[in-house]
Structure 1
């Protein structure tokens, strides 16, 4: 990696942490305001994509390996679908969040939404980073000298 653009590298390191904290805020505050799993997943993925653009694909893969990214895609879907299966095992309809707190269905709705939105966030983060890895990792069709 070429060691230039010191300011860009320092600012990126500062921004990545801030972006991740904001993504977590959007994730866990999404049922009270605009936002939720999809938006938080995209914001979280942006943190890793920016890191990869500035520091290179190999560096970001050291921080966030591709095997973890692929596992996240499946894990998020399992969390989402598993929430519905658990509600069915508890005698309710698929994704009926009242199953999580039968005596106070409003609390169950809150917990169910948090779990499902978390699953969506995990999946979207994994998919977006996997797409970045796929595009950034492919060899160029034409070399720089041929331009």
Structure 2
């Protein structure tokens, strides 16, 4: 077995576990350390591992640069929309109490939505930055 095949096999086993862990961190952020930012970085690291092992062309067939930029904008839009709902309801920006008749459930819903937006944005910013570095050409002076 060559080194490449060992790395490929280990990566195929690890990438799903990394993705599941990123979901765990995303959805258990209010109970322990974690949340959207950490989950986004973990998700992006799984994708970057895939790119390093299987090649940038294959990874861009999974998530293209355009798709990643769109998901980044979607995450930012979710965050902004949750904040603007508070302003349109006569409250402060990111005032989650207006999202539900019960202030506690409004807080929970608002934090959940904002963390989803942050996770989407961070993961895709990391992927876009990786694509930018991966597609750079080295010039000699």
- Structure 2 length-normalised TM: 0.93
In structure 1, runs of 5+ residues without a counterpart are: 143-147
Stretches of 4+ aligned residues off by more than 6 angstroms = none
Write the distance in 2 (CA, Å) between the matches of 1:32 and 1:112. Answer: 16
The aligned runs of 1:18-33 (5 Å cut-off) are: 18-33=17-32
Matches within 5 A, 1:1-147: 5-102=4-101, 104-142=102-140
Q: Distance in 2 between matches of 1:25 and 1:131?
A: 24
CA shift, 1:4, in A, is 6.1
Please provide the CA RMSD for this pair. 1.4
SS in 1 for 2:93: coil
Deviations 1:80-122 (CA, angstroms, capped at 9, x unpaired): 01001122223322111111123x2111111100000110000
**Aligned counterparts of 1:4 and 1:64: Cα–Cα separation in 2:** 26
Structure 1 position 6, deviation (Å)? 0.8
Unaligned stretches of 5+ in structure 2?
none
